[in-house]
Chains A and B, each alone.
Chain A
Amino acid sequence: MRALDRKMLRDLRRIWAQTLAIALVLGCGIMVLVGAHSTQLTLSGTQAAYYERQRFGDVFASMTRAPASVVRAAAEIDGVAQAEGRIGFGAVLDISGMEEPATGRIVSLPPEGAAMNVPVLVRGRLPDPEHAGEVAINSFFGEANQLVPGSHFGAILNGRLTQLTVTGWVLSPEFVYTIAPGAMMPDNRRFGVIWLNESAAAAAMDMAGAVNEVALRLARGADERAVIAALDALLDPYGGTGAYGRDRQLSHAFLAGELQQLGVMSTYMPPVFLVVSAFLVNMVLGRLIKMERPQIGLLKAVGYGTLDIVWHYLKLAILIGVIGIVLGWLVGWWIGSAMIALYQTYFGFPFILRSAAPAALAISAALGLATVVLGGLRAVWASSQLPPAVAMSPPAPPSFSRGYVDRAIAWLRVRQTTMMILRSILRWPGRAAITLFGVSASVGVLVMSYFMFDSIDIMAASMFEESNRQQVTLSLSQSAPESAVIDALSLPGVRRAEGAFSMPARLVHGHRTRLSALMGHYEGAELARLVDDREGPVALPADGVVVPQILAESLDLRIGDMLRIEMLAPPREVLDLPVARVIEQAMGQEVHIGAAALFRAMRVAPQVNQIHLLVEADAMPALNQAIKTTPAVAGLADWADVRGQFDATLSENLLTMVSIYTLIGVLIAIGVVYNAARIQLSERSHELASLRVLGFTRGEVGFVLVGEMMLLTLVAIPVGWVLGYGMASGLVSQMATDLYSVPFIITRRTYAYAGLVVFVASLGAVLLVRRRLDRVDLATALKARE
């Protein structure tokens, strides 16, 4: 091996800790890029493959009752490749050991097995068509209730409590995301999907030879809108409620929304990280090579050409880059796996097609290499352009003329060591600025990452404490006339009952769309209120809808604009309503309308599908018991319980996300501070050793090093807060155009955490370097030329 290459490898080994620190900073940018993209590609690839393998439908419709022959007619529609009919309905379930009722979405399973929306068996077996009481259940429900194959539970079928036997757990492309219609979030304990033999379903619903749901798969290139229109026409005589495509299928809409959001995250966040880390690597590597100036001079003096020297240091830079890239890839892959595991806790995929995201790997490698090569070139070039005689001699001592600042420092009468710190920062403002930028970048990254949790938190608080003062919400299995509210008053322990109408909906304005819900409010409601942050409770206008500010912004809505509301559950109507008022609601995500206006637009008599209750404290068991035998009620939400679950889910998810982002912020801070301190140490070892010789203690000398870094860190933290605010608002504006919008609020807690984490990381890094200071041999340090 050539002596020069040997030098490079030995140098690399000597500065391994610095190398690793630079590589880590670079790796951070790369790991976010690889992690986010591989998660996104994996989930969307898995989704596509899953849909294809299990023949997920393209168009869906439900009706009151149609003869089975309607399925064949549907298959004849131009552009339809496959059609399947079935019986589907909701039922109250009685799970032993569970006080409150659960709800089931029951779908029929043909004796020959499903041809479309085919469930995947993950445990046990499918029900035997010969045994009417056998069912398969979705695995989330099975897991949450420990309903293993062989166990039983009750269901109210056709008004009679029937015992069902679980034969197996399944997953289905139709129920990747299982959320009860009208519910705010998945509740796997209280909502399950149940596959029941067709004969049993027909018997329960009295629908022998008939179906009430149809699903279609389209031929390639078919016109979905034409098919939907044809199907609507076909089903109209049978009480069809309107066919719809995947975009209005509940599970798909949620999954697609989540993937779209992930897509925004993976296109917006990684570049921020990558740019920050590229910038830092560029600067840190530059400083590292600048310290090699005398050696560059020597190599030139003995006859090495500029190109030889540049290439020599570039190789060093590239090696550091390669280490960073490989580290980034590995950790990125791991982060991707963690994120996917997180998604798997609420998306039911029977398999995962892990995508390595080759494009992300290639792009990150190219960017990583470009970063180190540019950083290296910039530094080597400057040094290699110097005449060798100049390069070999130490840089001219900085001018120490006394400026205003010095006089100010002198006036402050600080200790001599403190003076050294302040002088050093003022003498080399560029050097201090690099450290400052690096540290503030990691604070910024943390603020940007943590602030989303603020939004969720505040959203939850306003949802649970401000608007919803009821203790219990009953969801009705079908929309009922207003008189149902009066009936509810006779349930045990009920002190007050209010009706409401809620409907998952897609909102469309121009080319912008958002998944949300439409809330119909009855006049005089006091439990579930519409509250304006400034003006308090809002009375619903006689006409049109009320839209919260944040939603209005993301849909670009102004008062008077027409908003299209596509209902995602029966009757799946599409309403075009004017925006009557925009309210201040930091967290508001839903569209509100007065019941009178809503039902006038729908041209039906007022209905309720939710009843909010205030209940006597000790009446809950009796109420639960009563609901179990009330077929009209599909579910019961105990708000205390909902809040508990919300917090539990959140804290679990938060833990993963917070760990990942903290890791990245910490790595950047450590990488920057460690390098700065190391370079500081080698540049000033002579000076620091002289202090020791003059009789300063280790602690005092260490203070010069630690003090300077920590002072810079302290200054950097507020700068980082500002940076983080900017990055977060950039992220919000990117995401706001998409399905969900995130309220932009950053709490003091977020700032405090971000600052604290970075402070501790910097302190750790600089203390590591300080330990080296103790090991510096005074004699050698003083002999050294610089």
Chain B
Amino acid sequence: MTDTRDRTVPVFRTEGVTRVYKTGEVAVHALRGVDLSLVEGEMVVLLGASGSGKSTLLNILGGLDQPTEGRVFFREQELTRVSDRALTTFRRDHVGFVFQFYNLVPSLNARENVALVTEIARHPMRPEEALERVGLGHRLDHFPAELSGGEQQRVAIARAIAKRPDVLLCDEPTGALDSATGVQVLEALTQVNNELGTATVLITHNASIRRIAHRVVVLADGQVKSDERNTTRVAPHEVSW
């Protein structure tokens, strides 16, 4: 499959996104006016200290959460000030998620965990195909408890890409993995990005992973501290951890 997307069209655009958490009397400003624009086919690495607001931003982009202030657009569609139902449809049709803690349904095997999503998607690939893409064609009937951490995470990636999403949002997908396994997972992600042209946002604490991205955004204290393009990208297995 070749990438036919226009790499100049923005997929996501945020305008002054602010998110305040109120717990008891203290208000935590997780995001303070983030303006950001991500384009089609792009792979973005999101860096930042713990608590800088990375997950919050990713959740808002993916329609899992709503900003307190500011606006978010997916292509022409505004994601802020819409109903829960509209957000659900948005997630179902356009977004693939990968979380740090795999988040597989323990009572479903690999194939079924993927099928959970393909059954409600519009143009999904077969679960088997998605699992083959992440190198798990031989583990279809294994339950999460019978898979290693890396394998579980790759099932989660298969689940995310099986619906052919427009964007792939990954929150520390390698956070719980050793480097060798982490590389396998990143390989799977870059491969999907290259072959399917899926715009990908990847949160990590590992600064060396930045080199696999087209673009690196650094958050600090709820604000964008830097936003740079990589002149050269390297393959995940060339990254030293």
| Chain A residues with a Cβ under 8 A of chain B | 2-4, 6-7, 10-11, 14, 294-295, 298-306, 308, 387-390, 392, 396, 780, 785
Contact = CB atoms under 8 A, between A and B. Distances in A.
12 contacts: A2-B119, A4-B119, A10-B108, A14-B107, A298-B103, A298-B105, A303-B88, A303-B92, A303-B93, A306-B84, A387-B59, A389-B65
B91 to A, nearest CB: 4
A4 B118 CA distance: 12
Contacts of B89: 303
Contact of B116 (A4, A294, A780, A785): A4
A305 B88 contact: yes
A3 B88 contact: no
B112 A387 contact: no
B91 A302 contact: yes
A598 B55 CA distance: 94
Q: Chain A: interface secondary structure?
A: helix
A302 B97 contact: yes
B215 interface: no
Contact of A295 (B62, B95, B105): B105
Given A3-B108, A303-B93, A388-B64, A294 B103 contact: yes
Contacts of B73: none
B99 A392 contact: yes
Contact of A303 (B91, B103, B105): B91
A6 B92 contact: no
Contacts of B93: 303
Q: Size band of the B side of the interface? A: 20 to 34
Contacts of A306: 84-85, 88
A10 B99 contact: no
A305 B112 contact: no
Given A14-B107, A298-B103, A305-B85, A3 B97 contact: no
Contacts, number: 75
Given A3-B108, A11-B107, A785-B101, A300 B119 contact: no
- Give the one of B66, B116, B145 with max A CB within 10 A: B116
B120 interface: yes
A302 B108 contact: no
Given A295-B105, A298-B103, A302-B159, A3 B112 contact: yes
Interface in B47-103: 55, 59, 62, 64-66, 84-85, 88-89, 91-93, 95, 97, 99, 101, 103
A646 B10 CA distance: 92
B48 to A, nearest CB: 17
Nearest to A783: B149
A303 B101 contact: no
Contact of A7 (B65, B88, B99, B107): B107
Interface string B106-135: 011000110111011100000000000000
A20 B59 CA distance: 39
Nearest to A10: B107
A389 B84 contact: no
A11 B106 CA distance: 9
A305 B92 CA distance: 9
User: When A and B form their complex, which 4 residue pairs have the shortest distance between CB atoms, in order from nearest?
Assistant: A303-B92, A10-B107, A3-B115, A389-B64
A10 B62 CA distance: 30
A390 B92 CA distance: 18
Contacts of A387: 59, 64-66
A780 B65 CA distance: 31
A3 B104 CA distance: 13
Nearest to B90: A303
Given A298-B103, A305-B88, A392-B99, A7 B120 contact: no
A19 B23 CA distance: 36
B69 to A, nearest CB: 17
B66 A302 contact: no
A460 to B, nearest CB: 58
A598 B204 CA distance: 102
Contacts of A303: 88-89, 91-93, 95, 117, 120-121, 163
B119 A3 contact: yes
A392 B99 CA distance: 10
Contacts of B92: 302-305
Given A11-B107, A389-B59, A389-B64, A301 B97 contact: yes
Contacts of B121: 303
A299 B55 CA distance: 18
A6 B108 contact: yes
A6 B85 CA distance: 25
A320 to B, nearest CB: 16
Contacts of A10: 107-108
